[in-house]
Structure 1
Amino acid sequence: MAKEAVTIWSLEMTSPEELIHKSVTNPDFVIQECQAKQFQFNRFLYSYIGKQWEWTDKLAWSDDQWCDYAENDNLRLWVGYYQGSPAGYFELQSQNDDIEISYFGLAEPFIGKGLGGCLLSAAISEAWNWGAKRVWVHTCTLDHDYALRNYQSRGLKIYKEETC
Structure 2
Amino acid sequence: MILPDGYSDVPTGKIAAVVTHLEMTSPPPRRDDPPGAWRLRKAETPKLDWYRDLYRRVGEEWLWFSRARMSDAELAARIHAPDVEVYALVVHGNDEGLLELDFSEAGNCELVYFGVTASLVSTGAGRYLMNRAMELAWRGGVQRVWVHTCTFDHPSAVAFYQRSGFRAFRRQIEIADDPRLDGTAPRDTARHVPAIE
Instruction: Provide the TM-score with structure 2 as the length reference.
Output: 0.74
Q: Does residue 129 of structure 2 align to residue 119 of structure 1?
A: yes
- In structure 1, distance between residues paired with 2:39 and 2:46: 20
Residue aligned with 1:124, SS = helix
Q: 1:80 aligns with which of 66, 89, 96?
A: 89
Q: Using the TM superposition, name which of 19-28 and 94-103 deviates more.
A: 19-28
Tell me, yes or no, if the aligned pair for 2:37 and 2:91 is still in contact at 8 Å. yes
- Letter of the 1:62 partner, please give it: S
- In structure 1, distance between residues paired with 2:29 and 2:164: 5
Q: CA deviation at 1:4?
A: 7.0
Q: Does residue 115 of structure 2 align to residue 69 of structure 1?
A: no
Q: CA deviation at 1:5?
A: 5.0
Deviations 1:2-43 (A, max 9, x none): 677522111001011xx1433333341112222x21241322
Q: Using the TM superposition, name which of 148-157 and 77-86 deviates more.
A: 77-86
Residue aligned with 2:67, SS = coil
Alignment match, 1:26: 35
Tell me, yes or no, if the aligned pair for 1:39 and 1:71 is still in contact at 8 Å. no
- In structure 2, distance between residues paired with 1:5 and 1:57: 14
- In structure 2, distance between residues paired with 1:163 and 1:25: 34
Q: Using the TM superposition, name which of 111-120 and 68-77 deviates more.
A: 111-120
- Letter of the 1:141 partner, please give it: T
- In structure 2, distance between residues paired with 1:124 and 1:81: 18
- Letter of the 1:55 partner, please give it: W
Q: Does residue 118 of structure 2 align to residue 108 of structure 1?
A: yes
Residue aligned with 1:30, SS = strand
Runs (5+) with no aligned partner, structure 2: 1-8, 175-197
- In structure 1, distance between residues paired with 2:90 and 2:140: 22
Residue aligned with 2:138, SS = helix
Deviations 1:86-107 (A, max 9, x none): 1211100012211100001111
- In structure 1, distance between residues paired with 2:56 and 2:72: 14
| Greater helix content | 1
Q: CA deviation at 1:85?
A: 1.4
Q: CA deviation at 1:129?
A: 2.4
Output aligned runs, 1:1-164, within 5 Å.
6-16=17-27, 19-34=28-43, 36-40=44-48, 41-94=50-103, 95-164=105-174
- Letter of the 1:47 partner, please give it: R
Instruction: Provide the TM-score with structure 1 as the length reference.
Output: 0.88
Runs (5+) with no aligned partner, structure 1: none
Residue aligned with 2:152, SS = coil
Aligned residues: 161
Percent identical residues: 28
- Letter of the 2:129 partner, please give it: L
